[in-house]
Amino acid sequence: MSHQLLEGKRGIIFGALNSSSIAWHVAEKCHEAGASFVLTNAPIALRMGEINELAAKCNAQIIPADVTSEEDMNALIDQSMEVLGGKLDFILHSVGMSLNVRKGKPYTDLNYEFMHKTLDISAISFHRLLQTCWKKDAISDWGSVVALTYIAAQRTFPDYSEMAEAKSILESIARSFGYHYGKGKNVRVNTISQSPTMTTAGSGVHGFDAFFNYADSISPLGNAPAEACADFCVAMFSDLTRYVTQQNIFHDGGFSNTGVSTEAMAKFASI
C-alpha cells in the first residue's frame, strides 16, 4: 500500500529491537508512506545489531538513547532535528520493560527498586520525552505523538504484573500532556492499546501463548497483528487525524468491548 500519507514528515521511532517488534513494522510502514525518521533504542539493545538492517532499508539514522536518561533524551531530540533538518512531526514511543517480570518476581512479592525502574522505563520516559520536546519546542504545529499500551491498564490480567500500573501511568500522561501540548502548540498525544502481539516484550509475560489465544478467541476480528498496528500508527501520524488527542484508542479486533464469544462459551458449556 503506497499512499504517501507521511510525505515530507519527520519523526522519531523508539523501540525497534528485531523484526517482530511493533516499532519495526511502524518504521517500515512510515518509510512506505514517505516519512523520514530517526530510529532509537537503548545502547544495549543496539548492540544486537538487527536494527542496522532496518535502518538501511528505511534510509534512517540510528541514535542510541536510554529513555531513563535525561542527558540521552536531550541529545536524541537535538541530534534528530539536526539530522532530519527541522522540527519533528511525529514520534512513536514503543518502549516497555518490567524488571520484576523479567526476574520472575510475582505481583505479591515485588522488589520496589525493580518497580521504580519498570515505571521509569515504561511510563515516566513518556513524560521525559514530551517534556524534553516541549522545552526545545521540537514538535511542529499539528504534530502527533503516540505511545503503545495494553488493556491491563483498565482490567486485571494476573501475569501482566506491575506493567499494569506502568500502562495506567502511561495513558494518564498522554491525557495530561495532551492537554498542555494541545493548548500550547497544537500537538496531539494519544495511546494505542494493542492486542497481544508475539514480540520479545510480549512473550516475556508468563503464559503468553494462552493469553494470546484467549484474546484471539474473544475478539470478533481476531487479534490485531503488528502490521495492522503499524498502519494505524501511520493514520495517527497523518493529517487525517488532526483533532484526535488525549485518547486511549483500542486497536484490538473488538476485544475491549466483547464480554464473551460463542467459541469461548462452547468451552464452558455443560455436557
Q: Which residues bind ligand NAD (CB under 6 A)?
A: 15, 17, 21-23, 41-42, 45, 66-68, 94-97, 121, 148-150, 194, 196-197, 199-202
Shortest distance in whole angstroms from residue 41 CB to ligand NAD: 5
Map grid coordinates 531530540 to a residue: 77
Shortest distance in whole angstroms from residue 33 CB to ligand NAD: 19
Q: State which residue, 68 or 140, has the beta carbon closest to ligand NAD.
A: 68
- In the complex, residue closest to ligand NAD by CB: 202
Query: Which residues have CB under 8 Å from 206's CB, separation 6+?
Result: 101, 159
Give the separation between CA 206 and CA 62, rounded to whole angstroms. 32
Q: State which residue, 211 or 239, has the beta carbon closest to ligand NAD.
A: 211
- Can you spell out the DSSP letters for 62-99? E----TT-HHHHHHHHHHHHHHHTS-EEEEEE-----H
Q: Which amino acid makes up residue 182?
A: G
Q: Is 231 exposed, middle or buried (0-12, 13-18, 19+ CB in 10 A)?
A: buried
First to last CA, the chain: 48
What 8-state DSSP symbol labels residue 155? S
Q: State which residue, 94 or 245, has the beta carbon closest to ligand NAD.
A: 94
Q: State which residue, 78 or 186, has the beta carbon closest to ligand NAD.
A: 78
Give the separation between CA 109 and CA 246, rounded to whole angstroms. 34
Shortest distance in whole angstroms from residue 195 CB to ligand NAD: 7
Radius of gyration of the chain (CA): 18
Shortest distance in whole angstroms from residue 95 CB to ligand NAD: 4
Shortest distance in whole angstroms from residue 26 CB to ligand NAD: 9
Q: State which residue, 202 or 253, has the beta carbon closest to ligand NAD.
A: 202
Give the separation between CA 256 and CA 195, rounded to whole angstroms. 9
How many degrees, rounded to 5, is the angle at CA 216 between CA 197 and CA 262?
Answer: 170
Q: Which amino acid makes up residue 270?
A: S
Which residues does residue 194 pair with via DSSP β-bridges, in sequence order? 251
Q: State which residue, 68 or 261, has the beta carbon closest to ligand NAD.
A: 68
Shortest distance in whole angstroms from residue 117 CB to ligand NAD: 9
117 close to 101: Cβ distance less than 8 angstroms = no
Q: State which residue, 140 or 208, has the beta carbon closest to ligand NAD.
A: 208
Shortest distance in whole angstroms from residue 8 CB to ligand NAD: 27
